Structure 1
Amino acid sequence: MASSTNIPPEIIEIILLKLSSVKSVLRFKTVCKSWNTIISDPVFVRNHLENSPNNLFLSKQRPRIEGGYPLFKLEGRKFHAADAVPIPSTTNSNSIPYETVLCECNGVLLLGSSRFDYSEKHVLWNPSTRREIYFECPYAYSRTCTQNRGICYDRLTDDIKVVWITDKHYAIYSCKNNSWSEKKLGIEYRGFFEGIFVDGATYWVLRDDKYTIQIVYFDPRTDELKGLQKPEQLNSDCDLTISVACLRENMCLYSVSGE
């Protein structure tokens, strides 16, 4: 029988993509460095999600405390209700649940609790593996100030980073190092939107101090917020509420009009 070292990496990747269980795939990361590299690649993660036969979707609507987050299964182009996923809770005696989805990246959710100030206690949660990371923001951000959050995966360091954008600062939490850092903003941004992770960066559509629409993204390689050239349609006279989404691995801008 041939050893894994004699099997081309392309064949190994095809075999790993056939595994439907996320837990099984993650266990194979410990086999060797090459397998860990394959499984950690965002392209592999995306392909595994797309090829998963389960096709399970988690509803972002606030769940019932006793019922958990509702799951839906896609079958024949129709959604059907599936079993719910229990809500992560704190480990203290109060067991306060985190029932608010703030943002998402590669299947990892940032959750907050309506019983806390959203700038304080949070949990990063993977519903597929049930793994949780609890943390608190050490910076005293006011509840009334602008807060825009996002999650970004740093492929180079294999690190998940949580980004907080406030009026005049932005903070970065590194899961790998379990550490925080804070930087000043050159422009004061306004808005309350979640960031969208697309092709290695996390994007927001915000407005500056002149109420002009700006597309801002977080670069995990430098831990810096940068501006992106925006479409001509988003000029200074645009008064629409613009949202951002990920559509087939592309950033999509849209506006919902009541007309």
Structure 2
Amino acid sequence: MGKANRVTEVGHMALSCKGGDERTKAVYSPIGTLTSSPSLYALPLPTLPFELIEEILSRLPVKLLLQLRCSCKSWNSLISDPKFAKKHLSLSTTHNVHCITYSNKYIIIESYPLDTITATNIAQSYLPFSHSAYFLGSCDGILCLAAADDSNSIIVRLWNPSIRKDKELPLLQEPKKQKHVMRMYGFGYDPVGDNYKVVVFLRLIDSNISNFVDKYKVKVHTLGTSSWENISNFPLVFPLKKLGQFVSGTINWLASKDQSRSQCFVAALDLGSGSYQEVLLPDDGEVHAYPLVLTVLRDCLCIFSGDDVWVMKEYGNKESWTKLFTISYMQDPYRPSYDVFKAVYIFEDYLVRQVSQSFGQQKFIFYNRRNDTSRLFVSVDTPEVCIESLISPCF
């Protein structure tokens, strides 16, 4: 039994708050409930060092931790501490799949555990939103959602479904003289400033000209501030996908320098310095021959080229691209045949792939590589996979 398992097992034994009043002590039973019966006050409860209690609690699920905050003041103080939230995040391994729908000025977030075969809904959250929303990404347990209102402004909201906390960011006003606006988005953590940032790339299309014009703006919002800042050194690029991928303190978009998209590369924005760089794809002729998908695997950039999976083991080093494996063909049981797969997410043992899109609905297969099982989900929007955490967006 590993150290983490041994420590967690201790958490299912009797615990008490060190130095607290006898009446505040609680017993944590093996079935995961707190008991506070007066008959237990007389029992000789063991008192563990607070350091060990912290180690135990940092390995427990978020839902249980939120319940344990009521056990005593010292536990509430510990679990509410941002430093403890970061420690818990570093040890968290639970990933949930979040699907969103829009109804009656609310977005409904349905959450499912990624590591189970059955599609059991573990949570359903209602969040006020005046318009239909879509995911911009996730980072450290926080979902980033956005919508455009009637005045052509972008509404962005950060939401941690594990702790049910959200924050609406300042409105991002778009130019009203433009008929169309092409957007790129990104959301991630700035390790230099120890904060979270949202990036919006606006490429403007003149209302009187059919072709694109070189008008664009890159806006960045830092959580806790009251405005959006401009980034001036980001060049005009043509994204293959609107959503950027966060890795190593950077937001990365699969892009091209012209509309032909003949030569693709990764356009990267460093959240700490605001600098721009280009990350080249592997030197392999077949990489450019398939529809490409950019994602993250094991905290590394990852490219899907058809069914081939490439990973950049050292960020920014072109020579570190390595072909990991080829994904086996998976048949959609609800459709006789199809030709194109689209990878969405990949983890150590789990893969999320889109298999079809029709009538406003998308079908996704969640594939478990450990036991070679898969299950189907249907969503009106691309689902977002997010780690469970205590990190609050309310800075």
Partner residue of 2:256 out of 188, 207, 212: 207
Quote the offset at 1:148 in angstroms.
0.7
The aligned counterpart of 2:291 is 241
In the alignment, is residue 254 of structure 1 matched against residue 313 of structure 2? no
The aligned counterpart of 1:93 is none
Amino acid at match of 2:224: K
Partner residue of 1:155 out of 158, 181, 191: 191
For 1:209, what is the secondary structure of its paired residue? Answer: coil
In the alignment, is residue 216 of structure 1 matched against residue 258 of structure 2? no
In the alignment, is residue 88 of structure 1 matched against residue 137 of structure 2? no
Aligned length, in residue pairs: 243
Q: Retained in 2: the 8 A contact 1:13–1:38?
A: no
- CA displacement, residues 99-126 of structure 1 (integer Å, 9 cap, x when unaligned): 3223222222222236557752222222
Q: Retained in 2: the 8 A contact 1:244–1:254?
A: yes
Structure 1: any 5+ residue segments left out of the alignment? 90-95
Q: Retained in 2: the 8 A contact 1:149–1:194?
A: yes
The aligned counterpart of 1:92 is none
TM-score normalised by the chain length of structure 1: 0.73
Quote the offset at 1:161 in angstroms.
0.4
Partner residue of 1:171 out of 206, 219, 225: 219
Partner residue of 1:145 out of 181, 189, 197: 181
**1:86–1:22 Cα change, 3 Å:** farther
**1:239–1:124 Cα change, 3 Å:** same
- RMSD (Å), alpha carbons: 3.9
- Report the identity percentage: 16
Structure 2: any 5+ residue segments left out of the alignment? 1-17, 21-48, 204-215, 308-338, 341-395
Quote the offset at 1:241 in angstroms.
3.2
The aligned counterpart of 1:21 is 63
- CA displacement, residues 136-170 of structure 1 (integer Å, 9 cap, x when unaligned): 11453856333110101123333110011234331
Amino acid at match of 1:156: V
Structure 2 counterparts to residues 108-147 of structure 1, below 5 A: 108-113=142-147, 115-116=149-150, 120-134=154-168, 135-140=170-175, 142=178, 144-147=180-183
TM-score normalised by the chain length of structure 2: 0.51
Q: Retained in 1: the 8 A contact 2:58–2:91?
A: no
For 1:221, what is the secondary structure of its paired residue? Answer: coil
- Paired with 2:253 and 2:152, the residues of 1 have a C-alpha distance of 18
The aligned counterpart of 1:40 is 86
Amino acid at match of 1:123: R
- Paired with 1:137 and 1:22, the residues of 2 have a C-alpha distance of 37
